Amino acid sequence: MRYRKLANTDLDVSVICLGTMTFGQQNTEAEGHEQLDYAISKGINFIDTAEMYSVPGRAETYGSTERIIGSWLKKSGQRKNIILASKVTGPSPAFKHISSNLGFSKNRIKEAIEGSFHRLGTDYIDIYQMHWPERKTNFFGQLGYVQHDDQWQDNFEEAISTMNELVTEGKIRHWGLSNETGWGVMRSCFVADQNKWPRPASIQNPYNLLNRSYEVALSEVSLRENISLLAYSPMGFGLLSGKFHKKLDTPQDRINQFKNLARYNSPKSHEATTMYILIAEGAGLTPAQLALAFVNDRPFVTSNIIGATNMTQLKENIGSVDITLTKDVLDQIDLVHKEISNPAP
């Protein structure tokens, strides 16, 4: 395994982070424990979750992922050896079962983290993230920001002040953002700097061969402001594995099982994936290895959040850390990207 420094912190995180949002929906507790055991054995020290997981978020499975991680932590005694990240849920009518007061008020953040502590069986979280913005803006595939018409009141100071309190109290070590825009990241840095509070250490946004929109503005923010990208959906909900093109998919696969998760299932995404499969085969790689190795070595990526529903996938995904793409392969990838740019933003 390889490790990288998380922003300006003292944390060295594994280049591969184990994403866990399938635990409690597509994976049982026993399967989740097996994945965690294997990941740790391969040098992964970074685990990501959220209070709203598993995905898709439903009242019936709310908190199940954190509970599974918590039972594993109790059984394994590994808490001191891992870097654990979780998230407080942003506002959305779909998640009223979590709280009637979703968002990043001081009371909600503190309520959320205490719930996570209870489910995880810990009294601190290494990286605590705001899951998505409170305001109306471009995230989860939304494009074309226009004059905003929401009633949002700038809440950055209250939210960041609360994160600072949690750091001071020893309940979190660092805080981060997720599904955020360039403006949101820089606004966060400005508010933190003005008040001499800690800046966000990380931003967790989607980044993969079908969605390289992070490169447009946020990559520069990551590099110049030293804010670590924790890249999620590196496999485009499994499409980039090639299994759908090769008719190896099953009814249990995410794109087949959850039709509302259609972000990576457009005709253009399938067309681009066909081209990436050909590049992988020409380089003697599997499509998954190509997709993950590309993300692993981008200069603005600190850690690549992989997920799997079975051990075969998990082993292949973790093994991508040992693959380095040649300049010729990277040039071929860029040609596809130029022809079909960001089909799944």
State the catalytic residues: 53
Q: b/e for 147-170, b at 16 or more Cβ within 10 A?
A: eeeeeeeebbebbbbbbbebbeee
* Six token digits for residue 294: 């590309």
Answer whether 286's CB lies under 8 Å from 271's CB.
Answer: no
Neighbours of 286 (CB within 10 A): 18
Q: Which of 224, 129, 243, 236 is nearest to 178 (CA)?
A: 129
User: What angle, rounded to 10 degrees, do the helices at 287-296 and 311-319 form?
Assistant: 50
Distance CA 345, CA 342 (A): 6
Query: Residue for token digits 């990941």?
Result: 39
Specify the DSSP class assigned to residue 206.
Answer: B
Cis amide leading into 54 (omega within 30) = yes
User: Is the dihedral angle over the CA atoms 234, 240, 243, 249 positive or is it negative?
Assistant: positive
Q: Cα torsion for 51, 191, 206, 175, to the nearest 10°? A: -40
Please identify which residue in the block is written with the tokens 């008040």: 195
